[in-house]
Amino acid sequence: MNKLDSLRALMRSRDWDAVVLTGSDPHGSEYIPERYKQIRFLSGYGGEASGLVVTADEAGLWTDTRYLIEARHALEGSGITLHPQKRLGCEDLARWLGEQRDLTRIAVDALTTSAGFADALQQAVGEECEVVGVPELLAPLWPDCPELPQTPLFTVDSREGRRAKLDFLRDFCRTRHCDALLLGALDEVAWTLDVRASDIEYNPYVISYLLVSANEAVWYVLKDSVADPGSEDALERIAADGVRIEDYSAVLLLSEDLGGGGRLYCSPDSLNIALHEALHGAGVEMVAGESPVAAKKAVKTEDEIEALQRAHLLDGIAMEKFLFRLERELEAGRSVSEREAAILLGRLRGESEEYLSDSFETISAYGPSAALPHYVTPEEPAPRLRREGLYLCDSGGQYLCGTTDITRTVPLGACTLQEQEDYTLVLKGHIALASAVFPEGTPGCRIDALAREPLWKAHRNYGHGTGHGVGFLLGVHEGPQSIRQDLNPVALEPGMVVSCEPGIYREGQHGVRHENLLLCVQDGENDFGKWLRFETLTLCHFDVGALLPELLTQAEIRWLNAYQEKVFRTLSPYLSEEETRWLEKKTAALRD
């Protein structure tokens, strides 16, 4: 009996007409520990931003356009239908269920389904259908489910400090007439307490919750029960700032820390059903709203910006050494696989004492592999690189001084005219956004088209967003700001960091993406208001070997020359003599 058949047998025994899995964890996270990778367990598909529905007769997986090609291959022969997701989250999944007939009972995992999504699902299916939350829903089918990870803690210094951040949250509570605030999002807990770990792969988070009231702060964390020797100093520092440490599981008894009731401010997106029901049953009045932490931490301080500049210096050194080494290996006729290239880049990043880990799994993709925007590089047999066509590498690092994210598409030899056109058009889109000037108060959705216009004019496009926020030694994906076509009203502000990553993908042929991280900064004030622009943080040259210069305007050539010159001037002092000569050629100015 396969896993879907086993699940359907469980459904029949429990009188469930459908099961819904959201691909998240108890904290509403994008990247999740192995314990909660339920969709991968059932379907074999492991991409993010997905949802799975299983009924008696059908099974469907919803995921967005970044993962469609990968998901199509993973689901082949599984009996699961792939549904392209038009909106963020699982709205399309809920709408599909609402259109089904004869559904009277839908089960969701109470730990990995947010209260917000459960409400949206209930509205979609109507009152005649019951949505029930079942903790550890797949436990009968998954007896060897992994345990939650626990890794050593360490603290980071910030200009504000823990006490000031806790006071900020207390002030926020008072304005909302609430007795306390609960943080469930892992990046928000990490930011508030200035604490990091590696409980989540690639993300320096601690699996925990934080309750902040007028008189105290309570941190519900696994580390208290384990007392990891590597965490003692961090725990002492946090406790010294007035934070009481309780076991992670005690969050279900949170009402006792509120005195048996009270008004609690919380985000429904990071509050799972099990916790919601425990609080509701204890008489806690929950006030739902967006967390104030997301907007606060998105605007980087002067100290953080200075540290991020160093992180990108270190990352740029590693990237240039990597691209130099890769080119020399191929020129010497040595065989290099996609996986071996990714390992080499990770090893070069690791030469810095400030490097902690990659910030996500490196996408090392050659030729047709690069047509999958979130390609997972196989271990064996990994495709081999050849001295022709395009190689795409999307990667990033977690450093003590910040988080990086960069994509470079490089020609390994002769390229077709179509590859050259795509390469050049994507670079034109990148330059258009990176050099944008826009009025204060502009949300990212209003400038997304700048990066797409050169592609649209050639009747080409890409299905993912153009830019996402990036945390400071936190998640490589951070809100609330974004640059994408979805109508996100959050305005870009000075101090925010966003990616700029337009692309073109041709299934079975090639993919192109050029990505830098940009810092939003002020650009003056006049009678028409205040103005903003971007400064590029990323330091790594664009390889002009695949460029069609005749497609660039004079302004675009000047931008590219200035950027290339900055890369050479900044990084060359840290490179060997041979690497410096190589980079000088790579960054030679184009004629405008």
- The domain spanning residue 404 has which CATH number? 3.90.230.10
Residue type for 423, please? Y
User: Does residue 582 lie within any of the structural domains?
Assistant: no
Alpha helices in 144-228 (DSSP H): 161-175, 186-193, 223-226
pLDDT in tens, the chain (592 residues): 588 889 999 999 999 999 999 888 999 898 899 999 998 888 877 766 678 899 988 888 888 666 666 767 776 767 788 777 655 556 678 888 888 878 899 999 999 999 888 998 899 888 889 999 999 999 999 999 999 998 999 999 887 899 999 999 999 999 999 999 999 999 999 999 999 999 999 999 999 999 999 889 999 998 755 556 667 788 888 988 999 999 999 998 888 878 777 899 999 888 999 999 999 888 999 999 999 999 999 999 999 999 999 999 999 999 999 999 999 999 999 999 999 999 999 999 999 999 999 999 999 999 999 998 878 788 778 899 999 999 999 999 999 999 999 999 999 999 999 999 999 999 999 999 999 999 999 999 999 999 999 999 999 999 899 999 999 999 999 999 999 998 999 999 999 999 999 999 999 999 999 999 999 999 999 999 999 999 999 999 999 999 999 999 999 999 999 999 999 999 999 999 999 999 999 999 998 7
* pLDDT value for 484: 95
Is 511 inside any structural domain? Answer: yes
Residue where one domain finishes, among candidates 297, 320, 341:
297
What's the distance, Cα to Cα, between the start and end of the chain in Å? 66
Q: Which two tokens stand for residue 164?
A: 């000031």
Contact 469, 497 (CB under 8 A): yes
Interior/surface letters 268-307, b for 16+ CB within 10 angstroms, e for the rest: bbbbbbbbbbbbeebebebeeeebbbbebbbebeeebbeb
Q: Write the Ramachandran bin of 371: left for phi over 0, alpha for psi from -120 to 50, otherwise beta.
A: alpha
506 DSSP assignment? E
Check if the beta carbon of residue 464 is closer than 8 Å to that of residue 66: yes
Query: 400 in a domain, yes or no?
Result: yes
Check whether residue 23 and residue 101 sit in a common domain: yes
Co-location of 231 and 315 in the same domain: no
Count of domains in the chain? 3
What's the one-letter identity of residue 378? P
The answer to whether residue 399 sits within a structural domain is yes
- Looking at the structure, tell me whether residues 321 and 460 fall in a common domain: yes
Residue 290: give the domain boundaries.
154-297
**Residues 64 and 116 occupy one common structural domain:** yes
Same domain? For 550 and 509 the reply is yes
Question: Is 146 within a domain?
Answer: no
Residue 591 lies in a domain: no
Nearest in space to 125 (alpha carbons), one of 95, 149, 86, 83: 95
Residue 158: per-residue pLDDT: 82
Q: Are residues 314 and 432 located together in one domain of the fold?
A: yes
- Boundary of a domain, candidates 274, 297, 320: 297
Q: What is the pLDDT of residue 345?
A: 98
Amino acid (1-letter code) at residue 67: Y
pLDDT for the residue 165: 96
Same domain, yes or no, for 315 and 208?
no
Is position 141 within any domain? no
Do residues 26 and 113 lie in contact, with contact meaning Cβ atoms separated by under 8 Å? no
* Same structural domain, 128 and 35: yes
Residue 433 in domain = yes
> Residues 431, 543: one domain?
yes
| Pairing of β 285-288 and β 390-395 | unpaired
Contact between 483 and 445 under an 8 Å Cβ cutoff? The reply is yes
Answer yes or no: do 261 and 305 share one domain. no
Whether 497 and 530 map to the same domain: the answer is yes
Task: Write the CATH number for 110.
Answer: 3.40.350.10
Whether the Cβ atoms of residue 253 and residue 88 lie closer than 8 Å to each other: no
Q: What is the pLDDT of residue 474?
A: 97
Q: Which of 297, 323, 339 is the last residue of a domain?
A: 297
Same domain for 108 and 163, yes or no, is no
pLDDT on residue 85? 66
